[in-house]
Amino acid sequence: MTVAKLSSALSAVDWNNNVQVFLKDTKSAEIVADVSMKLAVWARQLETVDHENPSISFIREMQISSQQVAALTALALYKTAAGAMRSMFENALYYTYFRTHLSELETLVRDPAYFVDKRQLIEYHKTHTVRFTELQSKLGLITRLNTWYSKVSAIVHGQIPGKWTEHKTLSDIKHIEATRALVVEVFREGGDLVHCLFLCTVGQNFWDVFSTPSKKMLLAGLSGDLKKALMLDIA
């Protein structure tokens, strides 16, 4: 492809119209906005109480990834949005581990061969994080996480060719209503998984110093039984 052909293909897509079409889908736009806001509240509270911890960079990356999901979905770049969703969750998970494992964080930065995967980090929490197994069970976290992560990874890695990719050429990029609804629902699930992960881990450590308005927002929608089990209140 020449630069001229690339320019022609990119210019053929009405990117602004794609955004406007997305915003007219009020239900989808509201879901994306709600997920983004809840993650932003978590990010702001954690940045405030744990700002001196170098692992906070994972929280910043989590929030950026969630913002990119919103942008990519609005532009109808669905498959690319899947990669940002996975990054969003992975960075949240990395933070919950590396914030108390700073020597490993230094190794991660220094040594490209060093790697820890999702399974290892979940197993760490099951063994070492107080009440994690009990709380995640009440929230259905691990079961839902494994299903969601496998689904998103299959899209990212192209295990199912054509999944979330409707166009055949660059210039054909536009919204497909049914696919957009799937993308938004998977983002909603991913955002809720991050939320539940934090409730079971760092939320247990820092809740008392979170702001009252933030506590109200983060507990909204949870049943009384779940709030009681989590032992998190608004006061």
**pLDDT tens track for 74-90:** 999 999 999 999 999 99
| Dmax (CA) of the chain | 62
- Give just the sign of the alpha carbon dihedral 199, 203, 204, 210: negative
Nearest to 215 by CA among 63, 24, 79, 44: 44
Nearest to 122 by CA among 149, 102, 85, 152: 149
pTM of this prediction? 0.95
Domain locations along the chain: 3-230
Segments of the chain scoring below 70 in pLDDT: none
Give the per-residue pLDDT at 55.
97
Q: How buried is 219 (Cβ within 10 angstroms: 0-12 exposed, 13-18 middle, 19+ buried)?
A: middle
Terminal alpha carbon distance of the chain: 60
Instruction: Quote the tokens at residue 74.
Output: 């609005």
